[in-house]
Structure 1
């Protein structure tokens, strides 16, 4: 656990040569008194630009902890995490908040939309926090909604949209800052089969357009859409399934 890891962000021009996401020797330990629980045990993982990777694992496997570390929602106990060329493993809370807002686009199971605000107002929120001027915020929000096929629903509130449409709004919000990484946590967990197919089709389109996507799921059928499936068990990576390259 205390072994040193190479400086993944070192050297001039290193960021251009690095994967978008690079984990080395990541441990996460929770301690209560004399009890120490190792939720992650020396995880190594690379995700390259334009890849679509699914992370799967049963309850208690460390899958959610890994998602929280990747999303800069939690910090590792040990190890190095380089995101988009920057070592983020030990940044301050304020710096991590900036990373979450600008470099990671989140898509959650619960949508996390403001019910009293229109679709475009929900989409513009990351830009508001980034202090982008109002006219640019609105245009970028409308463009993002058009990208996910909801241009005509820009002024509707979440309660006026179907579950699949609400998740599309959430995906538009994730895209609006042009992040290095889209991180989707069980994005189809609250959707029916038709809406699930709709949202997964959109993720396929985003991947085909060059977006880097990491998807957290417990469903094998959902994970099968990705290029690679990373299996997590007992806090470590138990195996990786890769699709054959299309000729």
Structure 2
């Protein structure tokens, strides 16, 4: 089972509308991400990377092609099964953190386990362990407005990790952070990658993308791979 890719996207297209007004957001996309890989997806606004993110996160469905997550064809699952898969196998990290303002860091991290029906004692233990992992064990009783932007994003990462997902899916995770907090959060991603986590990071920032093992460039709905030696040049060509 360890040889099964975490993500296996095959000839996937996404079309909005029909006829002359049809918008081809993705065109015959192929993407394979193996366990432990750190992949950055980069492209300009409107390139299709947000559509790709939504499909990889089981929040949208392709018009054609296949998407397998941990060997499961997502199209074969009903909405309830997709929701369970999304909660258990995908850890989401958002640009805007998406923390609940009036609850503590610990309670925010526990939330996915509440939805999964995990007992209070177990979810509390797992949430504390996740906060310790991101270096915020001493801040578990702090609310989001009592934390810096970088610390809030660390809470969001802990929340994404708490279900031990197969995939961390990060959407512009440094977009709302200053340079110091960006460096801090990217260092955390580096550490998670070294620990064997599978990460797909969506970004428009070439410096953020350059931290990954692989860079995938999205242009007008078409994906192209940039090898390690050429990735900084390829990324620079997209954003300049």
1:242 Cα offset (Å): 2.4
Cα distance between partner residues in 2 of 1:214 and 1:243 = 19
Counterpart of 1:72 in structure 2 is 58
TM-score by length of 2: 0.93
1:90 Cα offset (Å): 4.6
Q: 2:8 aligns with which of 15, 18, 22?
A: 22
Change (3 A) 1:177 1:209: same
Counterpart of 2:176 in structure 1 is 190
1:142-221 alignment runs, 5 A limit? 142-221=128-207
TM-score by length of 1: 0.90
Q: What is the aligned-residue RMSD (CA, Å)?
A: 1.3
Counterpart of 2:237 in structure 1 is none
1:38 Cα offset (Å): 1.0
Secondary structure, aligned partner of 1:89? helix
1:1-247 alignment runs, 5 A limit? 15-31=1-17, 35-242=21-228
Cα distance between partner residues in 2 of 1:154 and 1:168 = 12
Cα distance between partner residues in 2 of 1:31 and 1:236 = 18
Change (3 A) 1:185 1:210: same
Q: Give yes or no for contact 1:30–1:36 (8 Å, CA) kept in 2.
A: yes
Unaligned runs of 5+ in 1: 1-14
Secondary structure, aligned partner of 2:151? helix
- Judging by fraction of residues, say which structure has more helix: 2
Cα distance between partner residues in 2 of 1:147 and 1:206 = 9
Question: What number of residue pairs does the alignment pair up?
Answer: 230
Unaligned runs of 5+ in 2: 231-240
Cα distance between partner residues in 2 of 1:202 and 1:40 = 31
Q: Give yes or no for contact 1:16–1:85 (8 Å, CA) kept in 2.
A: no
Secondary structure, aligned partner of 2:170? strand
Cα distance between partner residues in 2 of 1:181 and 1:238 = 21
Counterpart of 1:10 in structure 2 is none
1:32 Cα offset (Å): 5.5
Cα distance between partner residues in 1 of 2:75 and 2:156 = 26
Change (3 A) 1:86 1:243: farther
Cα distance between partner residues in 1 of 2:155 and 2:229 = 29
